[in-house]
Chains A and B, each alone.
Chain A
Amino acid sequence: ETGVTQTPRHLVMGMTNKKSLKCEQHLGHNAMYWYKQSAKKPLELMFVYSLEERVENNSVPSRFSPECPNSSHLFLHLHTLQPEDSALYLCASSQDHLAGRGEQFFGPGTRLTVL
């Protein structure tokens, strides 16, 4: 266990559905991240939050909407997704968000399938 939990672990949704992914970290970290991992592509950083403020948005389509109500919780709200959005969505946390400060701790991921 890395101290980062994600729910649900698997999600199947239609293109017109609205769903949310949840991430919680129990490590007292100040920074949280969303990544997308598609088959045969490198892990892609989507969003970075530090102390509940978004500090990075990596040109992610607006159909993905992050929310960070406090430093322990991170959500990814999904609406009107496309089949190509099917992927493993990974949440991670780190002590802070500044470059070079150390490792990130990953959750187990949510396997998302968009029909």
Chain B
Amino acid sequence: SQQGEEDPQALSIQEGENATMNCSYKTSINNLQWYRQNSGRGLVHLILIRSNEREKHSGRLRVTLDTSKKSSSLLITASRAADTASYFCATTGLAQGAQKLVFGQGTRLTINP
């Protein structure tokens, strides 16, 4: 299975601090994506990083990818209360065919005011 696994499972920090979440996976990938989910709602795509990229930025988000270690990290800088949500990494494999996003179990992030 190429299932991603996020670490930590839960993270609680103060507003203004930076939050770092990690993701590990098992097989070779085409790309890795990060999604956010507010409680009981749908997922929102945050950022996609391809297997030949090492780092990507989007606003306060910074994603790194280390294919040799099969791991990725998501950094949220200057966190805000609105960043409170669950964060999931998802991978797509190299095999041709239907796009199968394989999700991890997520990191529950709580930003305390």
Contacts and interface: CB of A to CB of B under 8 A. Distances in A.
Nearest to A95: B99
A100 B99 contact: yes
Interface in B79-113: 88, 90, 92-106
Interface stretch (A13-21, A41-49, A60-68, A73-81): A41-49
Interface of A: 2, 4, 6, 31, 40-43, 45, 48, 50, 55-56, 88, 90, 92, 94, 96-109, 111
B40 interface: yes
A100 B103 CA distance: 15
A56 B33 CA distance: 21
Interface residues of B, number: 30
Of A2, A99, A107, most B-chain CB atoms within 10 Å:
A99
Given A48-B99, A55-B97, A101-B99, A90 B104 contact: no
B86 to A, nearest CB: 10
Contact of B92 (A2, A100, A105): A100
Nearest to A108: B42
B43 interface: yes
Given A43-B88, A99-B94, A94 B44 contact: no
